[in-house]
């Protein structure tokens, strides 16, 4: 049996050598990826800069500036998705021949397909390592030049492409501090902040997108994010209204227009089917400035209403984070903990808020809390300030 396999392997190798001989010729090197070409050009230009610096024809400060610009261009050109190159005619012929002999076709796939994948993976890893090194150098340069708004934007965009959303949000935030009226920048910050928080747009991301719309009412990305935030909290009518505004910004017969229209139709359908909710109680909960140092941005905050005359169990509960404060709340029957204990069943309620250091619903010593006075169950301007400790 071993002799059979050895002979079969030898024959297979002989056939493959004959079939693949023209394909493995050095006359055809295969298609060069765009990323590989850009990296090669970058290296050539960098060598030229190094030579000019060594020859004394380029001042050190000009060299540094030229290198930074070169790296910035490369960051923008490298890293995107590339089209898969078409198979050359020779390989297509090899596939046809291999298809005639199923065993050889399978062997050809194993011996030729996998090494090509390894080469592509190696190229990708090399390009990724070079990009990461350049991003690290850009971050280091910005530490010495913190007022470079465009540099922070580029760093945020680079981190976003790399999937490092928290770092991207931090970079965009540094740019936004220096350019607070840059609407596209605020939208990018909102997007990365939402991604860093588990793709939730509630709280600060939505506020940033709304601020961007104040500055630039037709900003497509801002409209998309604000509509998505409304959809996320089941305000389908508002989501449809925001997304409909996007239709005026795109070509009527485009795929974008069709996709947006499908989203609008879905939101309108859900708004029509959604049962009418009780009026509920509305207001704002905030954290006292004297306790800001006692709460971390990721601490959980429970906002709830309980009956003045009734059981202590909360009638409606919302859960947010300290970073979302101040928070505009709306508590109604849809947020009841049990169907038998609804907000609308109790005329007078107290709205309370508690920062849970443990993240649990049960109050613990050291938690922060605050509560309103007794109000009607449909009050619309309730103010709750978290200003004391749980003892």
Residue 54 CA, distance from chain mean position: 43
Number of domains in the chain: 2
Q: Give the CATH number of the domain where residue 252 resides.
A: 1.25.40.10
Residues 291 and 263 placed together within one structural domain of the fold: no
Picking from 273, 296, 316, the residue at the C-terminal end of a domain is 273
Residue span of the structural domain in which 338 resides: 281-389
Query: Is residue 154 in some structural domain?
Result: yes
Query: Is residue 46 in some structural domain?
Result: no
Instruction: Extract the tokens encoding 346.
Output: 């109790």
Per-residue pLDDT tens listing for the chain (391 residues)? 444 445 555 555 555 555 555 544 444 444 445 556 566 666 766 777 677 667 666 677 767 777 777 676 666 655 444 444 444 444 444 444 444 444 544 444 444 444 455 445 555 565 677 778 888 888 899 999 999 999 999 999 999 988 899 999 999 999 999 999 999 999 999 999 999 877 788 889 999 999 999 999 999 999 999 999 988 888 888 999 999 999 988 898 899 999 999 999 999 998 887 655 557 899 999 999 999 899 999 999 999 999 998 888 899 999 999 999 999 999 998 888 777 788 988 999 999 999 998 888 888 999 999 999 999 999 988 999 999 999 8
Query: With a threshold of 0.85, does the pTM exceed it?
Result: no
Compute the distance between CA of residue 197 and CA of residue 161 in angstroms, rounded to an integer.
Answer: 17
| List of residues 6+ apart from 240 with CB closer than 8 A | 227, 264, 267, 268, 271
Q: Identify which of 214, 148, 150, 161 has the alpha carbon closest to the alpha carbon of residue 192.
A: 161
Residues 316 and 200 placed together within one structural domain of the fold: no
Query: Is residue 339 in some structural domain?
Result: yes
Query: Is residue 351 in some structural domain?
Result: yes
Query: Is residue 268 in some structural domain?
Result: yes
Residues 289 and 377 placed together within one structural domain of the fold: yes
Residues 348 and 238 placed together within one structural domain of the fold: no
Residues 288 and 374 placed together within one structural domain of the fold: yes
Residues 295 and 259 placed together within one structural domain of the fold: no
Residues 306 and 350 placed together within one structural domain of the fold: yes
Residues 228 and 326 placed together within one structural domain of the fold: no
Residues 267 and 375 placed together within one structural domain of the fold: no
Residues 188 and 244 placed together within one structural domain of the fold: yes
Query: Is residue 161 in some structural domain?
Result: yes
Picking from 244, 273, 302, the residue at the C-terminal end of a domain is 273
Picking from 234, 255, 273, the residue at the C-terminal end of a domain is 273
Q: Give the CATH number of the domain where residue 345 resides.
A: 2.60.40
Residues 255 and 219 placed together within one structural domain of the fold: yes
Query: Is residue 322 in some structural domain?
Result: yes
Long-range contacts of 239-242 (CB under 8 A, 24+ apart): 239/263, 239/267, 240/264, 240/267, 240/268, 240/271
Query: Is residue 302 in some structural domain?
Result: yes
């Amino acid at each position: 049996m071993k002799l059979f396999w050895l002979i079969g392997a030898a024959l297979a190798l002989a056939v493959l050598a004959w079939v693949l001989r023209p394909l493995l010729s050095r006359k055809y090197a295969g298609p060069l990826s765009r990323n590989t070409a850009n990296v090669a050009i970058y290296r050539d230009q960098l060598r030229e800069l190094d030579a000019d610096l060594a020859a004394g024809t380029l001042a050190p400060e000009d060299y540094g500036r030229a290198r930074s610009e070169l790296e910035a261009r490369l960051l923008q050109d490298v890293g995107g998705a590339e089209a898969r190159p078409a198979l050359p005619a020779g390989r297509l012929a090899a596939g046809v021949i291999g298809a005639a002999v199923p065993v050889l076709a399978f062997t050809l796939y194993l011996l030729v397909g996998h090494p090509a994948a390894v080469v592509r993976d190696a190229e990708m890893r090399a390009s990724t390592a070079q990009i990461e090194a350049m991003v690290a150098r850009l971050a280091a340069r910005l530490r010495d030049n913190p007022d470079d708004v465009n540099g922070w934007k580029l760093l945020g965009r680079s981190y976003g492409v790399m999937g490092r959303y928290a770092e991207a949000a931090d970079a965009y935030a540094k740019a936004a501090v220096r350019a607070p009226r840059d609407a596209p920048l605020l939208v990018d910050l909102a997007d990365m902040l939402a991604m860093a928080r588990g793709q939730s747009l509630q709280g600060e991301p939505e506020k940033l997108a709304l601020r961007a719309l104040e500055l630039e009412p037709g900003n497509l990305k801002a409209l998309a994010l604000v509509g998505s935030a409304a959809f996320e909290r089941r305000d389908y009518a508002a989501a449809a209204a925001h997304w409909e505004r996007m239709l005026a910004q795109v070509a009527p017969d485009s795929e974008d227009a069709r996709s947006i229209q499908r989203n609008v139709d879905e939101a309108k359908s859900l708004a029509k089917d959604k049962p009418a909710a009780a009026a509920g109680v509305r207001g704002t909960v905030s954290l006292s400035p004297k306790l800001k140092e006692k709460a971390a941005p990721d601490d959980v905050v429970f906002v709830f209403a309980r009956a003045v005359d009734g059981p202590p169990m909360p009638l409606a509960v919302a859960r947010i984070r300290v970073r979302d404060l101040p928070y505009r709340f709306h508590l109604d029957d849809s947020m009841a903990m049990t169907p038998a204990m609804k907000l609308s069943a109790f005329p007078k309620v107290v709205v309370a808020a508690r920062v849970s250091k443990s993240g649990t619903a049960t109050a613990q010593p050291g938690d922060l809390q605050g509560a309103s006075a007794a109000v009607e169950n449909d009050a619309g301007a309730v103010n709750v300030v978290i200003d004391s400790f749980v003892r």
